[in-house]
């Protein structure tokens, strides 16, 4: 049933469907990000320990969330592509990799800015930081591996295998602060008990994270469209656009 459903996703149908929803995703993302950042940067009270320095959390945490979420999209796209050879998921994988690499780099940079006043250093070989850095190199490795093949089918097969193997790093990143004694603070929002952030600080964070997620989907779909047009450039439906 799933195979039958996936096989009906044509490149032309995917392009038309995503063209209709991309403007909505990007517009909503702009609203949620703007509102969340305003609340977080100007309305939320200072942290009792970190003062106003904690406010970088409103870009660092959503970026970190997207860096992991993007790889989850990469992982599931790789499985679908490897088993059922659906071309659309090849381009979704690549588009998610590009955005995932950017958000991971942004996570590392904002983390360094936050870490300097809190830890007294820009970087430490902390378990969470190191595994996040590995994620960044993993994204780059997938993109470079894909670019090293002229045959797109061979490229897709190689990339899918690497992407699936690399997923082992995702739980390591998430649980690193629990498995090892690290400088990085433990989970504050996504955990079994109630969040350890005050409501007036948590609400803007959730709103901003939702905005980042909508932006990721909008930008990923637009990027995947561009990749798909390049893949299908000799097809009649592309020439008719």
In a domain, 16, yes or no: no
Task: Provide the whole-model pTM.
Answer: 0.91
| Burial bucket for residue 187 (CB in 10 Å: 0-12, 13-18, 19+) | middle
In a domain, 118, yes or no: yes
Closest to 79 measured CA to CA, from 67, 92, 64: 92
Distance CA 160, CA 93 (A): 9
Distance CA 220, CA 14 (A): 13
pLDDT in tens, 77-109: 999 999 998 989 999 999 999 999 999 999 999
In a domain, 145, yes or no: yes
In a domain, 14, yes or no: no
Note the pLDDT of residue 194: 53
Note down the domain range covering 172. Answer: 21-43+52-189+197-239
In a domain, 87, yes or no: yes
pLDDT in tens, 26-82: 999 999 999 999 999 999 998 877 888 889 999 999 999 999 999 999 999 999 999
Average pLDDT over residues 141-150: 96
Note the pLDDT of residue 235: 92
Note the pLDDT of residue 69: 97
Which has the higher per-residue pLDDT, 159 or 8? Answer: 159
Note the pLDDT of residue 190: 53
Note the pLDDT of residue 192: 44
pLDDT in tens, 183-232: 556 555 554 445 567 788 899 999 999 999 999 999 999 999 999 999 99
Note the pLDDT of residue 117: 86
Q: Residue 123 carries which DSSP code? A: -
How many of the other CB atoms lie within 10 Å of CB of 196? 12
Q: Are the C-beta atoms of 113 and 56 separated by less than 8 Å?
A: yes
pLDDT in tens, 158-196: 999 999 999 999 999 988 877 666 655 655 555 444 556
Which has the higher per-residue pLDDT, 234 or 7? Answer: 234
Distance CA 200, CA 218 (A): 28
Closest to 187 measured CA to CA, from 205, 204, 169: 205
Q: How many domains does the chain have?
A: 1
């Amino acid at each position: 049933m799933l195979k039958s459903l996936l096989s009906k996703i044509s490149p032309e149908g995917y392009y038309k469907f995503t063209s209709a929803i991309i403007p909505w995703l990007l517009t909503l993302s702009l609203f949620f990000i703007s509102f969340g950042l305003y609340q977080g940067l100007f309305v939320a009270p200072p942290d009792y320990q970190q003062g106003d320095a904690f406010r970088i959390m409103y870009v660092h945490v959503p970026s970190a969330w997207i860096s992991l979420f993007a790889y989850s999209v990469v992982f599931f796209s790789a499985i679908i592509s490897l088993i059922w050879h659906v071309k659309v998921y090849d381009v979704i994988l690549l588009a998610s990799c590009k955005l995932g690499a950017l958000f991971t780099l942004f996570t590392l940079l904002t983390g360094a800015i936050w870490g300097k006043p809190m830890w007294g250093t820009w970087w430490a070989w902390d378990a969470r930081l190191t595994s996040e850095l590995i994620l960044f190199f993993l994204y780059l490795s997938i993109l470079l591996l894909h670019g090293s093949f002229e045959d797109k089918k061979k490229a897709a097969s190689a990339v899918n295998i690497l992407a699936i193997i690399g997923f082992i790093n995702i739980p390591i990143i998430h649980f690193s602060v629990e498995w090892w004694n690290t400088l990085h603070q433990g989970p504050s929002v996504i955990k079994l008990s109630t969040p350890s952030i005050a409501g007036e600080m948590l609400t803007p964070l959730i709103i901003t994270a939702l905005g980042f997620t909508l932006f990721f989907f909008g930008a990923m779909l637009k990027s995947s469209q561009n990749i798909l047009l390049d893949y299908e450039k000799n097809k009649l439906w592309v020439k008719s656009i």
